[in-house]
């Protein structure tokens, strides 16, 4: 077994509360209802010996690989990638969406539902959000508009974080009428447009000279604004804990601090860079801070499910720190190479954290991560089932 951290991440109290966690979700998604027949058919074709978490991780790998193929061919988010890259991204996202939707159904079919499944699912979602949003910006022609690209990628990551922040406050994961599924379908459409017509299609002027990319980006930001306004209402009402606190009994605004330690350095380092590191290497830059944000999002999910406080500092912040120090010393080292080091560190830290948490839960719950008993056990733990 690979040991990433020298000491356990989760305390015995956290592990106990994680094992007692019950999934609570409310969905008003319009497209979920339309896709349910497809998902039901798909899960019924899935062999009972396949573990739910295996479905999720396979979908994530497909999603990451197809996104990386596009990002490899367009590292500056401007180059025209081969048309098949856009098609592969659309197909990869569809595969991830489908497998992500049926993992909970598979867990119930095989009577293997557990809190680990929910945690694993949300962790994969946090990582997928980063790659999908950056790939969508590349396909949508936002590389020529770096500010819009930065805002749209940041928006996707922020909305994911806010969704779980709201869950930390209310104890319920809520999906609106236009939410994850709808956003994924829109991104698939973006990739398909670029596949058939090329990314230059997004620079066609319509409606009196407005380019299509601007309408697309404006729609994304407007939707995000509406979500944030609704979230502000949640903050105003308070949480379900004592005196309006979170499920952990902590301040409802406390989760903003760890996230600000990701967002603020991302903007400052970009603005202070003499070599214009973000403008010249937007994909690598967004991947670096996106992976760090995914780690913080995973920590928030763990805090919610274990009803525990979320620590302010994160070991992944070493990545932005070395970028900052290099700028402080007048970019003594080539900033591009330092950015690569930061990305590799943040990625290593994310994988290490997720692996360690999963292994600790597997040990505590006495279950396997990617294999399940076959034939399935007779009784299902329905109270902990996800989705």
| Residue 122 is a catalytic residue | yes
Backbone angles phi, psi at 49, to 5 degrees: -85, -5
Q: What residue ranges in the chain does DSSP mark as E strands?
A: 25-27, 173-175, 205-206, 210-211
Q: Which one of the listed residues 122, 145, 164, 304 is annotated catalytic?
A: 122
Backbone angles phi, psi at 314, to 5 degrees: -140, 140
Q: Would you say 190 and 258 are in contact if contact means Cβ atoms under 8 Å apart?
A: no
Rounded to whole angstroms, the Cα distance separating 75 from 323 reads 20
Rounded to whole angstroms, the Cα distance separating 239 from 173 reads 13
Q: Would you say 172 and 24 are in contact if contact means Cβ atoms under 8 Å apart?
A: yes
Rounded to whole angstroms, the Cα distance separating 357 from 344 reads 20
Q: Enter the DSSP assignment of 199.
A: G
Rounded to whole angstroms, the Cα distance separating 228 from 219 reads 14
Name the residues annotated as catalytic. Answer: 122
């Amino acid at each position: 077994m690979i040991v990433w951290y020298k000491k356990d991440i989760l305390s015995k109290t956290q592990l106990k509360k994680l094992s007692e966690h019950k999934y609570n979700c409310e969905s008003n998604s319009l497209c979920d209802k339309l896709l349910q027949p497809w998902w039901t058919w798909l899960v019924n074709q899935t062999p009972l010996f396949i573990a739910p978490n295996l479905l999720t991780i396979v979908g994530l790998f497909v999603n990451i690989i197809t996104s990386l193929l596009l990002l490899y061919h367009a590292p500056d988010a401007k180059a025209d990638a081969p048309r098949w890259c856009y098609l592969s991204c659309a197909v990869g996202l569809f595969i991830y969406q489908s497998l992500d939707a049926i993992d909970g159904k598979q867990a119930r079919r095989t009577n293997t539902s557990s809190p680990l499944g929910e945690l694993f699912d949300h962790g994969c979602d946090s990582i997928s959000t980063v790659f999908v949003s950056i790939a969508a910006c590349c396909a949508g022609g936002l590389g020529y508009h770096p500010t819009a690209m930065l805002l749209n990628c940041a928006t996707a990551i922020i909305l994911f974080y806010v969704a779980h922040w709201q869950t930390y406050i209310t104890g319920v994961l809520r999906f609106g009428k236009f939410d994850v599924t709808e956003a994924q379908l829109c991104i698939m459409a973006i990739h398909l447009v670029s596949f058939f017509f090329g990314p230059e299609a997004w620079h066609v002027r319509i409606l009196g000279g407005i380019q299509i990319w601007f309408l697309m980006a404006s729609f994304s930001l407007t939707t995000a604004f509406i979500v944030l306004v609704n979230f502000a209402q949640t903050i105003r009402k308070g949480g379900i804990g004592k005196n309006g606190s979170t499920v952990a009994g902590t301040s409802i605004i406390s989760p903003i601090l760890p996230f600000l330690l990701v967002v603020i350095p991302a903007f400052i380092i970009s603005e202070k860079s003499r070599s214009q590191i973000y403008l010249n290497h937007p994909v690598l830059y967004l991947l670096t801070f996106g992976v760090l944000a995914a780690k913080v999002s995973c920590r928030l999910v763990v805090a919610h499910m274990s009803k525990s406080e979320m620590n302010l500092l994160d070991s992944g912040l070493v990545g932005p720190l070395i970028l900052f120090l290099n700028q402080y010393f007048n970019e003594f080292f080539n900033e591009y190479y330092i950015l690569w080091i930061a990305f590799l560190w943040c990625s290593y830290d994310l994988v290490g954290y997720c692996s360690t948490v999963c292994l600790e839960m597997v040990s505590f719950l006495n279950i396997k991560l990617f294999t399940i008993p076959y034939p399935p056990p007779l009784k299902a733990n329905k109270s902990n089932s996800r989705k």
